[in-house]
Structures are given as C-alpha cells and as structure tokens.
Amino acid sequence: MNSTVQQVVVVGGGSAGWLTACLLAAEHGHGASGRLQVTLLESPDVGPIGVGEGTWPTMRDTLRRIGVSETTLVRECDASFKQGSRFNGWVDGGPTDVYHHPFVLPQGHTEANLVAAWLERHAKVPFADLVSFQPHLCAQGKAPKQVTTPEFAAVANYGYHFDAGKFGQMLQRHGVERLGVRHVLDHVDAVLSHDNGDIAALQTRAHGAVAGDLFVDCTGMAALLLGRHFGVPLVPQHEVLFNDRALAVQVPYVRDDAPIASQTLATAQAHGWIWDIGLPTRRGVGHVYSSAHTTDDAVEQALRDYITATGGPAEIATPRKLQFQPGYRQEFWHRNCVAVGLSAGFVEPLEASALALAELSAAMISADLPATRETMAIVARRFNDSFRYRWERVIDFLKLHYALTRRRDTAYWRDHADPASMPAQLRDLLALWQHRPPSRHDFPRAEELFPSASYQYVLYGMGFRPVPGAYTQGADDGSRADGFFREAAALTRKMLPALPSNRELIAHVRQHGLSRI
C-alpha cells in the first residue's frame, strides 16, 4: 500500500460533494501543485435533497477560492442575496412578534457595552434595529451592494439564497471542465478493504474498482461509508431539537416583478416553523415539524394556509416530504474516511448551518490534507475535536431560538421551553447572561461558528432580560454606546436611498454582470 496520499475519492455529489471536490482540486489538484487526483463518484439515480438553500457569508470566500464568479452563481443558480434571517412568531405568537438576526455585527460591537445602554435608555426599540442598519435594509427589500460594487465585495455583509440542484450542477461543470475533477457516474456495489481495515477501493458496476487513499463520504443521510460500512453511529439530538420531518414545495410568484426577500423568513407555527426563501423566479417554502407533536396532514394544511396568506397561488404542487434523524456522527473522520454534509449529521435547517458545516469541513480537509497515511490519524483527531465542538455549538445556538419562547399554545412549544430539554452548556451560559451580555470570552475558539453578536441578536430578540440591576455601566461607556447607535442610524439613512432593491441588483447582474476586484 502506497503511503502517500495521491488519490481522493469523493462519494456522492450535490452541494457538499462538489464543494469538497472543487476545493481539493483547486488547492491541491493538477491545476495547483499537481500532486492530487480528485475523483467524484456518484450514483446516476440519486438526485439532490435541497429545495432551495441559504448560505452564510462564508460562501463568498469559498466560491472565490474555487474560482467561481459571483456573476456565474447568480445567472446559473437562480441566486439572490441574503442578509440574515427574520423570525416571526417565535416569542409569544402575537401580531408584533418579530425579530432579526442580521449578518452585520452591531455598530461598535466589543467597543462599548451596547446592551446595557440599550436597556437603560432605548429598551422599547428592538435591539437589532438600534444597533444595526441591516434590519432596515431587509425591511425594505434592499440589496447588500450597489451595481458598481465589485464581485464578492459588500456594502452590507451577505450570503446567498439559491437553487440547490442548479448549484450542484454548476459546481459539477466547473469541477470537471476547469479543475480537472474526474467524474464517475456509477453504482457502488461493494467496499473493498485493505488488511488493516482502511478502504482500498469502491467496486462499481461499470467502472470496476475505484481506488483511493482518502475517501470523502458525501452520500447524504445514508452515510454509506462512515455509517453503513464502518458503523460509526449518530449521536442523537431528538431530546434537544425535536423536529424530524419537513414538507417542502416550490412556489411561483404571482407577478414577475414581485419583491425578493433580502433575508430568510422563519415563521413559527403551532407544531414547527416555516422557512420562506426568495429566489428570482420562485420561492422555496417548507414546513419543519416534529412527528411526535402533529400529523403530516395537519402540517400540509398549515403550509398551504401560509402560502395563501403570503400572496402565493391558490393551487400549489404536492409538497415533498423529507425525513431526518437529528444528530451527528460520533466520529467524522475514521481511518481513511471522512464525512462531509448530511453524512456527518443534520439537526434541522434553522439558520442554514448544514451547508456552512459542509464548507468548513471541506476547508479543514484541504488545509490539513495529510501528505501520508501515517499522518492521517493526527489530522483525524484534530478534525474530530474541531467538529464535535462545532456541532455542539450549533445545537446550543439553535436551541436558544426555542428555549426562551413564551408560547404555551401547544405541547411542541411547551416541551421546547422545558429546561430539561436544554443542553448543559446552554443552561450555564444563560445563567451567566443573567448578569452580563454574551461576549467573546464565552466562545474562545478562533473560528467560532456563531460570534457573541449572533447570540445577542437572538437572546434579546427572544425577549431575554437580565436580573434587575445587572448590566450597569459608567456614563462614559454609555456615551460611547449612544454614539454607535447614532452611527447605525446615520448609516441607515445613507444606505436606504443609495442601494437598489434585491430584484434590481439581480436583474443588473444577469444582464451586465459584476466587475472584478
């Protein structure tokens, strides 16, 4: 067995598979150092799961690293610009129950005690609306940049919404035509092993044995290599996050010039929540729910009612049913196999963490790519430690959206608010945050998934308040905070008339493209 890692086989396509293959090929393949051959093997019968994806701003850097232009993304993937998320009905379900989690950090974040100043003098104003200009841009459907802003540059921080199927197809063309990825369409009939237990090759029906030194499992929830072959189990999370199903449908606009939402809309329902993602030609809408708390028929009716209430057509296609077991793998890298995407785990689509974790996984594999099999165990330990921590933080952050709800209208929300369903780490943080705001000291790793600002947006958006007398500050610090609030307001006044709508910017990109930096 050759000790040098020269052949990487990515098993499974879709967003996770092609992102990983493209990044490895771009940074280690024939177009770079020339030492690595990347093969992507996928079944011709398995289509993508996605029905419309949201990303984090990290996707801009990922696309730049693999050489895909932003113009190409918008034109080929039905993409639009995303500036965060808006949560409707999560606190008490009342008519004014709305809060925002924008991608822009609060003005003056870490430079003053913004939370204390907000509570002392501006508590009637929603926290995000006071400290950031971005919720105001989203409320008016504004784009995050001007038509003259170069590719990937931002006036306001942003990610994307896009058609997941088209995204995978675009990455496939780019990987094969530009980056030299070998694409094999075939069925895997068997896993062939070395004497030491490593995977040696995958036996296919038409192409024989596809050999490799490192295998990346991107086979979705089936987890054919890490789960089925190696038997690495899921660490279940259904006692923390209850959702295990979703009904999803593509909804056409009733008018060609309908506004395109600048953020993901997440609207709470009696037994779950509905995502609403605006693309240039349609909306991607889906109802996430817990099968232990309701029925499929009740959820489908709630989904249809929502679509009608939000201006959708009276008749829609039959929603597609998705089932998942919330959890993540006990190990993500075992022997010479590493899981990326749904093979590694899935908890639920809230806050678009699934694709972000796939991006981060691909990036760490590329950065730490072992030169030899002997060093692979070291890399695997580092990878497993990093992603076990990341999954735990994702679960804490998503649970925060539920744990503070004051809704008691159904067992679904009452059970989510039960302290017994809360991870111990989150309980400890909430106890600390009774006396001080979330800070960078709560999240000590260099590359945290969610910064302390994200916790502040959700925490105070959900109505959390400290114990009386906490969060006090001196007059000088309060004066600095007020200065930052004025800066946020001034930026709002400046940006609103200067930025095009989301639809206007997308139309410009489709017709003229964006300039390169």
Q: What are the pLDDT tens digits along the chain (517 aa)?
A: 558 999 999 999 999 999 999 999 999 986 445 589 999 999 988 766 554 589 999 999 999 999 999 999 999 999 999 999 999 999 999 999 999 999 999 999 999 999 999 999 999 999 999 999 999 999 999 999 999 999 999 999 999 999 999 999 999 999 999 999 999 999 999 999 999 999 999 999 999 999 999 999 999 999 999 999 999 999 999 999 999 999 999 999 999 999 999 999 999 999 999 999 999 999 999 999 999 999 999 999 999 999 999 999 989 999 999 999 999 999 999 999 999 999 999 999 999 999 999 999 999 999 999 999 999 999 999 999 999 999 999 999 999 999 999 999 999 999 999 999 999 999 999 999 999 999 999 998 878 899 999 999 999 999 999 999 888 876 578 899 999 999 999 999 999 999 999 999 999 999 999 998 6
Indicate if 229 and 249 belong to the same structural domain. Answer: no
Indicate if 229 and 333 belong to the same structural domain. Answer: yes
Q: Residue written as tokens 């959900």?
A: 462
Q: Is 376 helix (H, G, I), strand (E, B) or coil?
A: helix
36, 70 contact by CB (below 8 A): no
Strand runs labelled E in 315-403: 320-323, 327-329, 333-334, 337-339, 345-346
Structurally, the chain folds into a number of domains equal to: 2
Does an H or E element contain 268, and which? strand 264-269
500 is written with which tokens?
A: 């095009």
Region of residue 341 (left: phi > 0; alpha: psi -120 to 50; beta: else): left
Integer Cα distance of 180 and 71 in angstroms: 22
426, 399 contact by CB (below 8 A): yes
Rg (CA), the chain: 23
In a domain, 456, yes or no: no
Integer Cα distance of 490 and 495 in angstroms: 9
Which residues form the domain of 257? 245-323
Indicate if 180 and 319 belong to the same structural domain. Answer: no
Indicate if 227 and 331 belong to the same structural domain. Answer: yes
Tell me whether residue 286 is annotated as binding: no
Indicate if 387 and 276 belong to the same structural domain. Answer: no
In a domain, 193, yes or no: yes
457 is written with which tokens?
A: 């947006």
175, 32 contact by CB (below 8 A): no
Residue 458: Cβ-neighbour burial (10 angstroms; 0-12, 13-18, 19+) = buried
Indicate if 195 and 319 belong to the same structural domain. Answer: no
23, 58 contact by CB (below 8 A): no
Tell me whether residue 14 is annotated as binding: yes
127-to-40, 106, 155, 276 alpha-carbon distances in Å: 46, 9, 21, 23
Indicate if 317 and 378 belong to the same structural domain. Answer: no
Residues with Cβ within 8 Å of 344's Cβ and at least 6 positions away in sequence, in order, are 226, 328, 329, 332, 357, 361, 387
Indicate if 280 and 258 belong to the same structural domain. Answer: yes
Integer Cα distance of 167 and 20 in angstroms: 13
Domain boundary among 323, 348, 371: 323
In a domain, 376, yes or no: yes
Tell me whether residue 279 is annotated as binding: no
Question: Which strands sit side by side in the sheet containing 208-211, from one edge to the other?
Answer: 188-193, 199-204, 208-211
Task: Name residue 306's amino acid.
Answer: Y
Integer Cα distance of 228 and 226 in angstroms: 6
Tell me whether residue 16 is annotated as binding: yes
Indicate if 176 and 46 belong to the same structural domain. Answer: yes
In a domain, 259, yes or no: yes
In a domain, 375, yes or no: yes
Indicate if 38 and 177 belong to the same structural domain. Answer: yes
Tell me whether residue 29 is annotated as binding: no
Name the catalytic one among 82, 142, 145, 399.
82
Report DSSP letters for 66-111, one per residue.
Answer: HT--HHHHHHHTT-EEE-EEEEESSSS--TT-EEEEESSPPTTTTT
Tell me whether residue 104 is annotated as binding: no
Tell me whether residue 82 is annotated as binding: yes
234 is written with which tokens?
A: 């899921």
179, 67 contact by CB (below 8 A): yes
Q: Is 465 helix (H, G, I), strand (E, B) or coil?
A: coil
322-to-15, 244, 308, 325 alpha-carbon distances in Å: 17, 8, 22, 10
Indicate if 167 and 314 belong to the same structural domain. Answer: no
Phi, psi torsion values for 225, nearest 5 degrees: -90, -60
Indicate if 223 and 276 belong to the same structural domain. Answer: no
Domain CATH code at residue 168 = 3.50.50.60
DSSP at 310: T
In a domain, 417, yes or no: no
Tell me whether residue 15 is annotated as binding: yes
145 in catalytic set: no
